Structure 1
Amino acid sequence: MNFDLVVVGSGPGGYVAAIRASQLGMKVGVIEKAELGGVCLNWGCIPTKSLLKSASVFEYLTHAADYGIEVSGSVKPDFAAMVKRSRDVADGMSKGIQFLFKKNKIDIVSGFGKLLRKGVVEVTRADGSKAEVTAKHIVLATGARSRELPNLPQDGKRIIGYRQAMTLDKQPQTMVVVGSGAIGSEFAYFYNAIGTKVTLVEYLDNIVPLEDDEVSKQLARSFKKVGIDVHTSTEVTAVDASGDKLKVTLKSKSGEQQIEADVVLSAVGITPNLEGIGLEAVGVAVDKGRVKVDEFYRTSVDGVYAIGDIVAGQALAHVASAEGIICVEKIAGLKPEPLNYGNIPGCTYTTPEVASVGMTEKVAKEKGYDIKVGKFPFTASGKASAAGQKDGFVKLIFDAKYGELLGAHLIGANVTEMIAELVTARKLETTGHELIKAVHPHPTMSEAIMEAAAAAYGEVIHI
């Protein structure tokens, strides 16, 4: 088992790096201890979107009368069927990676990979046997797992992480979600939509705390409107699991309170998978729990590279994929452009959806920019009104001096699809006036981008 390049881990960073390396003429092997596709395809991005789609369809059916449709008989969620569909979708995607590996002549080495010495990875198979894989170049793409808080140890049954949240045996009647980032907010929306009483707890002042303040406040309003109990500036200090119901203690500025729940979902971030992969054995440098790399993902050890959730940067699937491509293109002797981490889109697939790129208004001001801000509400959008999805808005932030688009913040239906236009605009250094003069189709949700740009420059028509 000798390769030009071997990748440890087959998530969206690893498998993309492997395929690109194969396209560039390298003999490639991938070491994977579990399912191909990693957490994203099997336990993250893809199966959660399947669950969210089921919730969305259920909501449509329960509100069919709003669209002039009569549904006879009762409509109720089948939780087990939703979970099964989600798992089937994930299995199909994993099989798709198998096909791509076969098409690109990539060898799969099943087992746990560990750096042994320069150019050598030891693989421990499921039966305990070991083998050595050699390669001139080794890319570490081992991903991450759910982070555990000391006062919230996960038992996998009643106090759970995201993995168990998508495969519970039965739908809980009540749930406390701790952490309101993308993972926590998406699960809060899903379970609430199918009838679970959800309490969402966030330690910081706003939910989805990395988003622009106005977006965070709008999502909180939308959540409260559908019955999610939102607590911000609140900490979970203890969970008593001794009884039939979990007793969850919440602490905020106004004092302590205790609520009961069937399940507590801990969604407070991730922990990189660095343990046991041999970093110390070969001398790979680590800083603040992440592998240290340069702009082309070279570690402190020649021939060893690292990408994805184990390096600094946003822990997102599309970031890992981009890093993997840049890494192997540099290895192949091409001249890739380093990744601009300031132009990475973030998406949260709640209802309404949230999508953003670049600076928030607060950050732009802190950096000393003189800014122009344009905002267009979906209440003024014909397409949003026709669709019955008027929650949300598009907010664009421009540098007043040069017209540069500093940041874009969207909340509403389908905004996770719309954000790509603004990522491209920033990549091409498009100005506000160019966005205004780029004719957008009518009626579409995307018109709100043109209108928000126009609003920033006092030219908006429809508000």
Structure 2
Amino acid sequence: MKEYDIVVIGAGAGGLVLATMANRKGLKTAMIDKGKIGGDCTHYGCIPSKTLLNIAKKYNSLSLLEEKWALKGIKVSGKPDFSVIMEKVNENIETIYEHTRPDVFREKGIDVFIDKSGAEFIDEYTVKIGEKELRFKNAVIATGSSPRDLEIPGFKEVGVLNTLNFWSVTKQPDSIAFIGGGVISAEIAQAMAYLGTKVTIVEKHSEILGMIDEEVGDAIRDVFKENGIESITGAEIKSFHKTDGKAVMVYEKNKEQKELEAEKIFCAPGRQPNVKGMKLKNAGVEFSEKGIDVNEYLQTSCSHIYACGDVVQPFKFTHKASYQAGLIVNNILNGNNKENDLSALPWVIFTEPEVAHVGLSEKDAKEKYGDSINVFKVDATIDRFVTDSETKGFVKVIFDKDDYVLGADAIGAHAGEWIQLFTLAIKHKIPAGEFKDTIFAYPTYSEIVKKAFTRYLRKKQ
């Protein structure tokens, strides 16, 4: 039986970073998984969805040549070949996967074990993968999450799509209905609408993207209306069936039962942590349907077994998993001297325009600090936004009484790029005055960040 300093269970974003860092630090490392290395982000999430979105945005921009870009007299005809688009999506997946194939890690000295049965704990120091048993001093559970199914009559019979099987679709549907109004639905729905598919989003709550800032949410929902995306909110799905080859969703809204017909249905009501089948109880690891319980150092109830990424609450982001992976390696080597701090965790919705957030929302800041906070908003009318005809959007910054940033919400072109400056401000407690005195290149999108600080301080004088 082989013995390791660390066994990493799960070879997604968190697992790959963990195994690589641990190996670099001289720890004898094994990484195990039940599927392709790279995890959901590479094969089913970030990479394919952003590729599809990018292509769809480019196609949509062609229809705006005259209206938005002042290129009069140029006409665009024809419709994109969806099968070719999906070929490009899968080509990009393979390009990324080339850097994460098992042999890449084996060449670095990391033992990689893959078996569709997955990992099973025998006891608190032993894990089984296939027919092999591995002993470890430390283990990390980084098994990620998977799409949540619905226990609704007819759900399986209508052939529902999700992030696992959508990327193998080669024929563009004339119509598609999304279940759930979260980030996954928002991004793929806009892409499909741009490509000419009739899109409907069905959400049980009062708004789609209801978890984001209210003003930002209103702005992106208005964009969706302009895109021709229909939203049915406050709807409870009752059943599914097929009629003339199409899927029919039966739902109830305002106590009235209605039907929605679509060629395809995409299910995205949320994701569930992958905790089943590992026999966690054998190792004394406590968990629930929400994920694995961890302390501030990301230790589970069994102190030498850690967990990170989607399998740990809150948030399900690749960059959260990567951050926590580095934290765990540090804590294993240095005696748990760093706490898991997500107070400056940014996130982005890659729609057009992009939506971005970091830190506390205006609502949360008011609940925590009361009337002592200051909220300042700058519209996307900064020069670079004007030159690029991208003036739709704004940034809202929440300051404390001493002019330190508590949080920021943004919607606008490339918001996911310049939100990072607010992340730095929060993480390193940089006061507004420091940004005011910093030179920003002109004309750039990130100037909106400097304008937010300078105008805020000017208003306070």
**C-alpha distance in 2, partners of 1:180/1:254?**
20
Counterpart of 2:432 in structure 1 is 432
**C-alpha distance in 2, partners of 1:67/1:152?**
49
Counterpart of 1:127 in structure 2 is none
Counterpart of 2:197 in structure 1 is 196
Counterpart of 1:340 in structure 2 is 341
Structure 1 residues 366 and 152: CA distance shift in structure 2, 3 A: farther
Counterpart of 1:133 in structure 2 is 134
Q: Which runs of 5+ in 1 are unaligned?
A: 125-129
Structure 1 residues 325 and 154: CA distance shift in structure 2, 3 A: farther
| Structure 1 position 451, deviation (Å) | 2.1
1:93-123 per-residue CA deviation (whole Å, 9 max, x = no partner) reads: 1221237524532121111211112321111
**C-alpha distance in 1, partners of 2:153/2:335?**
47
| Structure 1 position 14, deviation (Å) | 0.5
Structure 1 residues 294 and 100: CA distance shift in structure 2, 3 A: farther
Match of 1:160, SS state, is coil
| Structure 1 position 300, deviation (Å) | 1.4
Match of 1:4, SS state, is strand
**C-alpha distance in 2, partners of 1:445/1:214?**
21
| Structure 1 position 432, deviation (Å) | 2.9
Counterpart of 1:384 in structure 2 is 385
- 2:97 maps to amino acid: S
**C-alpha distance in 1, partners of 2:263/2:458?**
52
Counterpart of 1:374 in structure 2 is 376
TM-score normalized by the length of structure 1 = 0.92
Match of 1:17, SS state, is helix
Counterpart of 2:179 in structure 1 is 178
- 2:113 maps to amino acid: V
1:221-370 mapped onto 2 (5 Å cutoff): 221-253=222-254, 255-333=256-334, 337-369=338-370, 370=372
Q: Which runs of 5+ in 2 are unaligned?
A: none
**Further displaced range: 343-352 or 431-440:** 431-440
Match of 1:41, SS state, is helix
- 2:237 maps to amino acid: V
| Structure 1 position 381, deviation (Å) | 2.2
Alignment of 1:96 onto 2:99: yes
Counterpart of 2:88 in structure 1 is 85
Alignment of 1:167 onto 2:168: yes
1:152-163 mapped onto 2 (5 Å cutoff): 154-155=155-156, 158-163=159-164
**Further displaced range: 283-292 or 235-244:** 235-244
| Structure 1 position 422, deviation (Å) | 0.8
| Structure 1 position 151, deviation (Å) | 2.3
CA contact (8 A) 2:154 2:239 kept: no
**C-alpha distance in 2, partners of 1:168/1:324?**
34
| Structure 1 position 372, deviation (Å) | 1.3
**C-alpha distance in 1, partners of 2:153/2:29?**
41
**C-alpha distance in 2, partners of 1:228/1:266?**
16
- 1:108 maps to amino acid: V
CA contact (8 A) 1:41 1:47 kept: yes
Match of 2:320, SS state, is helix
- 1:81 maps to amino acid: V
Alignment of 1:446 onto 2:446: yes
**C-alpha distance in 2, partners of 1:156/1:63?**
40
**C-alpha distance in 1, partners of 2:241/2:455?**
51
Q: 2:114 aligns with which of 104, 110, 113?
A: 110
| Structure 1 position 242, deviation (Å) | 4.9
| Structure 1 position 75, deviation (Å) | 3.8
**Further displaced range: 48-57 or 143-152:** 143-152
Structure 1 residues 305 and 156: CA distance shift in structure 2, 3 A: farther
| Structure 1 position 347, deviation (Å) | 0.8
| Structure 1 position 375, deviation (Å) | 1.1
- 1:377 maps to amino acid: D
| Structure 1 position 398, deviation (Å) | 1.0
**C-alpha distance in 1, partners of 2:100/2:157?**
28
| Structure 1 position 250, deviation (Å) | 3.7
Structure 1 residues 371 and 152: CA distance shift in structure 2, 3 A: farther
- 1:294 maps to amino acid: N
- 1:445 maps to amino acid: Y
Alignment of 1:16 onto 2:17: yes
**Further displaced range: 332-341 or 422-431:** 332-341
| Structure 1 position 73, deviation (Å) | 5.8
Overall identity of the aligned pairs, in %? 30
**C-alpha distance in 1, partners of 2:229/2:258?**
17
Counterpart of 1:420 in structure 2 is 420
Aligned length: 453
| Structure 1 position 74, deviation (Å) | 2.2
Structure 1 residues 156 and 361: CA distance shift in structure 2, 3 A: farther
**C-alpha distance in 1, partners of 2:443/2:107?**
41
- 1:420 maps to amino acid: Q
1:371-406 per-residue CA deviation (whole Å, 9 max, x = no partner) reads: 21111111x22212221222211111111x221211
| Structure 1 position 186, deviation (Å) | 0.6
- 2:69 maps to amino acid: Y
CA contact (8 A) 2:273 2:290 kept: yes
Match of 2:378, SS state, is strand
**C-alpha distance in 1, partners of 2:63/2:373?**
43
| Structure 1 position 284, deviation (Å) | 1.0
